[in-house]
Structure 1
Amino acid sequence: MTETRTAAKIGVLVPFTNTNLEPDMELMRPPNTTVHFQRMGGYDVDEIPGSDQMAGLGASDISHDLRMISGVRPDVVLYGCTSATLTHGPSFDADLAGQIKAGSGAASLTAAGSLIAGIKALGATKVGFSSPYLGEVNEQAMAFMTENGIETVKCANVGRELGNYGQGELTPDEVFDLACRADHPEAQAIVLSCTDMRSVEAIERIEAALGKPVVTSNQAMTFCLMQALNLPRHDRLPGRLFDRL
């Protein structure tokens, strides 16, 4: 079937070392849409991505990036780094989404905001949480969820410091193991945060093994953009979250 490319144009702002958001978006891309990426700097590739680096990325000037992505006249713009706004809190995240909307003229969704929206769409209030982040960023992520009425009943740490490329080099098998370690009898869903972690490929395996829905950063952004643009469900969408479309 020939693609019309007329349903929507999706703009994505992505950290410049991220290697997995783009392939994930292509895996889940709704038919007849096009996806366009603008890479963001604002951090040192050689630093371990801790709280200070992620907070710095979130606070960096993205006016140039917004001008570039606005060139495609997008219908929606995604801010594709979860921890960059998790480290600042919900009000900063909402303000950034507003800044992106004002600067691009498009609907705006952040990875962190989408993660919360996905959890709430499932009706979950208690979750197991994991990510490739350092412990301090995990603490801030759990606080972010708490402010949104979501309790973390277990947090599984990756167990070692990962550089900016190390996060993206975790295999889907390693992500599966991480998710299983985040499970808890009280957890109603498993949350995997990070747009550069290969969670999307592991979602259905995790759900089958644990019997619980999974919410990941990139999956949640896709869910929210489909809601925002009123796009129909298609057959390349992994996980129970999309049952809520």
Structure 2
Amino acid sequence: MKHETRTRAKIGVLVPFTNTNLEADMMLMRCPDTTVHFQRLGGYDVEEIPGSDQMAGLGASDISHDLRMIAGVRPDVVLYGCTSATLTHGPGFDAELAAQIKAASGAVSLTAAGSLVEGIKAVAAARVGFSSPYLGEINTQAVEFLAQNGIDTVSCADVGRELGNYGQGELTPDEVFDLACRADHPEAEAIVLSCTDMRAVEAVERIEAHLGKPVVTSNQAMMFCLMRALNLPRHGSLPGRLFDLL
């Protein structure tokens, strides 16, 4: 048996406690010889539909205990793995939370929302088609979040129904593909798939082949940003054109 060294980097991830796909995506994409460590976040009611107030409440919740727990592995990077929890507050809050996590963990800190913006900028897209499993009010806030970062949303698609905290993660890659296609627009230079619990990573290459445009997803963008920050080498399990830019 060939063994990995497990010494290249330790990746810490803060993940909402009902999220079932972020961990799987990180393990799919992780660089050989790295390890990935997860701490689950509370701060919201599993029985509520995840609207703007609930997600904003998650972003504003006290994560000091969670930071102490993830700091225990002495991570090289800590990811805040919920896109809507910070984009509902705006770019300033997102940056402040990243700084708080860095100060508490001593690690490079990246948020899902901030990474999404960095991924879009990396593929040089100024105009995007946006899609997500969110309620309409969060989509509106997401479009504004992108606008404040100099990115114009020319088309926006949602699933057309309210999804609970588990419903977002239960969308299939085929449903994500259809959602992405509905978000396309002749002026869109890239397709954005926002949500760390959506199975978008598995659909990226199919979407890009069909639409002929780069795709940027929350989880893919976090992996791209952490690999760039830690100077990790490209490997064969990275989906999409975004990773051509490493």
TM-score per shorter chain, which class?
over 0.9
Residue by residue, what CA displacement relative to the aligned partner does 1:78-113 show, whole Å, maximum 9, x if unpaired? 000000001000000000000000010100000000
Listed as ranges, the matches of 1:61-140 within 5 Å are 61-140=62-141
Listed as ranges, the matches of 1:11-50 within 5 Å are 11-50=12-51
1:168 is matched with 169
TM-score with structure 1 setting the length: 1.00
Contiguous gaps of at least 5 residues in structure 2:
none
Q: Secondary structure at the match of 1:164?
A: coil
**Aligned-residue identity in percent:** 84
Residue by residue, what CA displacement relative to the aligned partner does 1:143-164 show, whole Å, maximum 9, x if unpaired? 0000000000000011000000
Listed as ranges, the matches of 1:150-165 within 5 Å are 150-165=151-166
State the distance in 2 between where 1:84 and 1:144 align.
12
What is the CA-CA distance between 1:64 and the residue it aligns to? Answer: 0.2
2:244 is matched with 243
Residue by residue, what CA displacement relative to the aligned partner does 1:149-192 show, whole Å, maximum 9, x if unpaired? 00000000110000000000000000000000000000000000
State the distance in 2 between where 1:118 and 1:103 align.
25
What is the CA-CA distance between 1:2 and the residue it aligns to? Answer: 2.4
Q: Which one-letter code corresponds to 2:8 in the other structure?
A: A
Contiguous gaps of at least 5 residues in structure 1:
none
Listed as ranges, the matches of 1:170-209 within 5 Å are 170-209=171-210
Q: Secondary structure at the match of 1:58?
A: helix
State the distance in 1 between where 2:61 and 2:32 align.
33
CA RMSD across the alignment: 0.4
State the distance in 2 between where 1:84 and 1:61 align.
13
1:228 is matched with 229
For this pair of structures, how many residues does the alignment match?
245
Q: Which one-letter code corresponds to 2:90 in the other structure?
A: G
Q: Which one-letter code corresponds to 2:68 in the other structure?
A: R
Q: Which one-letter code corresponds to 2:13 in the other structure?
A: V
What is the CA-CA distance between 1:42 and the residue it aligns to? Answer: 0.1
1:5 aligns with 2:6: yes
Q: Which aligned runs of 4 or more in structure 1 are off by greater than 2 angstroms?
A: none
TM-score with structure 2 setting the length: 0.99
